[in-house]
Structure 1
Amino acid sequence: MEREQLLGLYDWDMGVCFRHPGEKTDTTVVKTLQLQAGPNEQIRACRDCILAMEAARRAAAEGAGIPYTPGCAGDAF
């Protein structure tokens, strides 16, 4: 799958990437933490981090011999 096709599977909005907290950029939600007190917390990732996460998920799925499904970077694989 091409880079832009993969990134197109996500909804993008301005935010702060969990790996690059000092920069505000295009990000997507990869997880939502359900907190006991206070509002839920969204964990966001930038485009470069999504591509890295998807590559790691693909490699893990291939290593485990299971199908890889793109578009779920916050999931194990």
Structure 2
Amino acid sequence: MERQQILDLYQWDDGVCFRHPEQGTVPTVCLKTLRPLGAGQHEVRACGDCLIGMEDIRREAARRSGSEYQPGHVGECDV
């Protein structure tokens, strides 16, 4: 799959990337919702470059294990 096809599998919204907070608000994907005790909830978000990096890691792990790689399943945001 091409980069844009993978990115299109996700729901995008403005946010701050967990790896690049200095970039400020950019289009991001929610990876996980953290719920610390007494602190509400906090979304961990990733920009497109980070998301593609994580998809590359998943693709390589699938190749090594002999399983099928299916893009579009990074994170588990459940807001």
Tell me the TM-score normalised to structure 2 length.
Answer: 0.86
Higher relative contact order (CA 8 A, sep 6+): 2
Count of matched residue positions in the alignment of Structure 1 and Structure 2: 75
Identity within the alignment, %: 48
Matched, 1:20 2:20: yes
Question: By percentage of residues, which structure has more strand?
Answer: 1
| Rounded Cα–Cα distance in structure 2 between residues aligned with 1:65 and 1:40 | 37
The CA RMSD over aligned residues, in Å, is: 1.3
1:32 aligned residue: 33
What's the CA shift string for 1:14-59, capped at 9, x where partnerless? 1100010111211010111132222121100000111111011100
Moved over 3 A (4+): none
Tell me the TM-score normalised to structure 1 length.
Answer: 0.87
* C-alpha contact 1:14 1:25 (8 A) present in aligned 2: yes
For structure 1, list consecutive stretches of 5 or more residues without a partner in the other structure: none
What's the CA shift string for 1:57-76, capped at 9, x where partnerless? 1001111111211111227x
For structure 2, list consecutive stretches of 5 or more residues without a partner in the other structure: none
